[in-house]
Structure formats: structure tokens, C-alpha cells
């Protein structure tokens, strides 16, 4: 199976899906990380976020916004770690595929050489 000639994200995702690789969407990644940090800030809550706080004082709002600022800082930290772990997992997988391919190629070569030697 060859990679798509069209280099768009949608085509890349479709190609990876054909290979059986499931990549989470940006929303899934964001919600997964942020849900553990500040559940109020997951995507499904963003459009109604201020409704429960309609009567909050300016001081309480400032404290809530500070909490959100800290949550986004923690999100950035955790996302960076997640992306680094993903990058490392891909590198490790790629190395194992190359190693397996080289091992198979060597074995095929040895079989071919043995067959040629047997014919001599």
C-alpha cells in the first residue's frame, strides 16, 4: 500500500485508517487531557461555560479565570509530554519495522544463496 499522492491531512488520515492505525482527532486529544485538568473546559462545555456563573462577583470571576489560565498552562505542559511520547512511540515502531524488514530480507537472501549453491 502506497501513501496518498495528495498530502492533505484528510488523505493522510484515510491512508493511516486503511493501515489500521487510529489517530485521535484534535478534539479527542484536547478533551482527554483537559478533562483531567479542568472538566469545565472540555469542548462540550465551552459554549455554555458562563451560564452557571451568571451571578458571580467580579472577584469570583477573576479567580475562576485565573484557574482557567492555570489549567491551560497545565494543558500545554501535558500536551507537550503527550506529543513527545507519541513521537517516541512512532520512532520505536519504525525502528522495529525496519529491523524486521532487514531480518526478513537477510533470511530471503540466505535461502536464495543456498538454492544457487545447491544448483552448482
The 10s digit of each residue's pLDDT in 57-94 is 999 999 999 999 999 999 999 999 999 998 998 888 88
The better pLDDT of the pair 111, 43 is held by 43
Q: Quick one: pLDDT at residue 4?
A: 55
pLDDT at residue number 89: 85
- CB within 8 A of 72, min separation 6: which ones? 41
83 within a domain of the structure (yes/no) = yes
Is 2 part of any domain? no
Strand ranges (DSSP E) for the chain? none
The C-alpha cell that represents 79 in the structure block: 500536551
Its domain, for residue 39, covers: 9-119
Q: Is residue 44 assigned to a domain?
A: yes
Residues in CB range of 59: below 8 A, 6 or more apart = none
Number of structural domains the chain divides into: 1
Amino acid at each position: 500500500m502506497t501513501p496518498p499522492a495528495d498530502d492533505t491531512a484528510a488523505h493522510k488520515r484515510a491512508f493511516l485508517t486503511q493501515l489500521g492505525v487510529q489517530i485521535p482527532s484534535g478534539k479527542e486529544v484536547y478533551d482527554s487531557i483537559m478533562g483531567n485538568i479542568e472538566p469545565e473546559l472540555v469542548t462540550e462545555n465551552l459554549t455554555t461555560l458562563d451560564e452557571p456563573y451568571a451571578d458571580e462577583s467580579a472577584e469570583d470571576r477573576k479567580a475562576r479565570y485565573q484557574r482557567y489560565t492555570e489549567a491551560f498552562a497545565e494543558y500545554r505542559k501535558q500536551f507537550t509530554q503527550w506529543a513527545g511520547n507519541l513521537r517516541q512511540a512512532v520512532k520505536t515502531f519504525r525502528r522495529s519495522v525496519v529491523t524486521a524488514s532487514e531480518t526478513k530480507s537477510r533470511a530471503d537472501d540466505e535461502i536464495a544463496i543456498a538454492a544457487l549453491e545447491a544448483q552448482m
